[in-house]
Amino acid sequence: MMAEKSVEPHIFVILGATGDLTRRKLMPALFHLRTLGELHKQNTLIVGAATPEMSEEAFRLWVYEGLRNSGAPDSPDLRRWCDDHLHYLTVHGGALEDYEALAVLLTRLEGTGRKPANRIFYLALPPTIVPFTVERLDQTGLLKSDGWVRVVFEKPFGHDYASARALNALLHRHLDESQIYRIDHYLGKETVQNLLAFRFANPIFETLWNRDMVESVQITVAEDLGVEHRGSYYQEAGALRDMVQNHLTQLMTVVAMEVPVSFDAAAIQTEKLKVLQSIDPIDPRDVAFGQYTAWSVADRVIPGYRQEQGVSPDSMTETFVAMKMDVHNWRWRGVPFYLRTGKRLPRKLTQVAVTFRPAPFQVFRSLEPESLDPNRLLITLQPNEGFALCFSVKTPARPLSFTSQSLQFDYGRAFGGELPDAYETLLRDVMIGDQTLFVSADFTETAWRLYDPLLAGRHDVHFYTAGSWGPKEADAVVERNGHRWQLGW
């Protein structure tokens, strides 16, 4: 039986603590971990640091109101937790004396009775100031302690291969790789974690997980919203950088990886990296880029990407990507992997569709060859986490015909209530020092190296109407190989 680690007392420092991420994700996750008994009531403190001038009392009230808005019950315990465990310090544009003041504050809070002095720094900051912030933390001795120190980084991690490599080099001058936690919230989803268990704890599926039995694999991450308030950021990023290089690539390697020698971080990260290193250079002809245009429905007009705030009226930034990639190894040679993501699609959906090969001989000769749907395994990550195994059954009476049915497993119905939030899972993993669900330096650089040629080259961006499933050119990516996009269950 795997030993479960417990959370040690520590101080959790959020740099950029007055942002939307802190209020919507980090604080609710931290408070829920506390209600589950994961955090030491007296020996785990949270320190917020940001540029706005704010008193500790104002910061505590701001967090309290955010927790109430996120669904936390109004109770004396909630307010007491905010008053007893939250602290705040204003940092003015990264001045050295501000970080020195932060060091003094942490030393005071750690006190003589809080040894060893364990620290987590969560950098909820724009990527442009992350290198400078790390250097300030190091200059003021905040990255050194008689306990452990861990630093969490949000995506994007670099803008291309060169910048990612430079950022890794800078971090490694100040931190050991074991201290670095590059967070990808998709990997914190319960279904992604269970995908590993699903494969490696159930031999019935693992024996089918190869080129002899699998015809194709599709990974879809569809969003029904547009760029919202992120227009300026998205203008420089695009869907390939924002979604494919990290989220979809992570899912793809989890699906394709070999059986690790053990269920620990190093072994799993090694196998995921091997998958990336086995991918053939992506043919630009197997990639379709798209951008959503305006759509009128009833009395409502949904703006196109070029009409969004912060977006250039002649922008050619992609909001949709579909591509085919090939894994050149023994298990997957000849099996196409299709990746697709986009904004303003018909519905929100994250799904992996594994299509199995048809029978080598059709015994039902009176049927049309295409009348039997292929067996498929659908792994849905959102909005309704679960699995569905699709197969053909005979319909009653004559003439002979078949219909597709499915065996389904739904997490919500099976276990009741909501699944743990991804940030809750990942923050706890940081606290116990488990890097299994985090991204290594080698993985980051290898992923950027894979997509750099697509980013550097000129490519056409095809328009699609908001509310559709993308441009018709995306269908050609799969149809030229005799496949079609799979959706839902």
Q: Binding-site residues for substrate, please?
A: 185, 189, 223, 242, 343, 348
Reported as type and span, the H/E element at residue 98 is helix 96-110
Q: Specify the DSSP class assigned to residue 244.
A: I
Q: How many CA atoms lie within 13 A of 256 on its CB side?
A: 32
247 catalytic per annotation:
yes
Question: Between β-strands 336-342 and 214-222, what pairing exists: parallel, antiparallel or unpaired?
Answer: parallel
Phi and psi (nearest 5°) for 82?
A: -60, -45
Amino acid 167 reads L
Q: Which strands, in side-by-side order, build the sheet including 320-326?
A: 402-410, 386-394, 376-382, 349-356, 214-222, 336-342, 320-326, 287-293, 461-465
Q: How many CA atoms lie within 13 A of 166 on its CB side?
A: 9
Binding site per annotation, positions for NADP(+): 16-23, 155
| DSSP-assigned states of every residue in 38-49 | -S-TTTEEEEEE
Query: Catalytic: which of 159, 247, 328, 483?
Result: 247
Select from 394, 180, 340, 207 the least CA-distant residue to 269.
180
Residues 6+ apart with CB under 8 A from 468: 345, 346
Question: Are the beta carbons of 152 and 181 closer than 8 angstroms?
Answer: yes
SS3 of residue 392 by DSSP = strand
Question: Are the beta carbons of 180 and 269 closer than 8 angstroms?
Answer: no
Question: Are the beta carbons of 372 and 382 closer than 8 angstroms?
Answer: no
Select from 217, 212, 8 the least CA-distant residue to 117.
8
Amino acid 26 reads L
Question: What number of H helices and E strands is found in the chain?
Answer: 16, 17
Select from 367, 287, 297 the least CA-distant residue to 322.
287
Binding site per annotation, positions: 16-23, 155, 185, 189, 223, 242, 343, 348
Question: Are the beta carbons of 402 and 371 closer than 8 angstroms?
Answer: yes
Could you give the residue numbers annotated as active site? 247
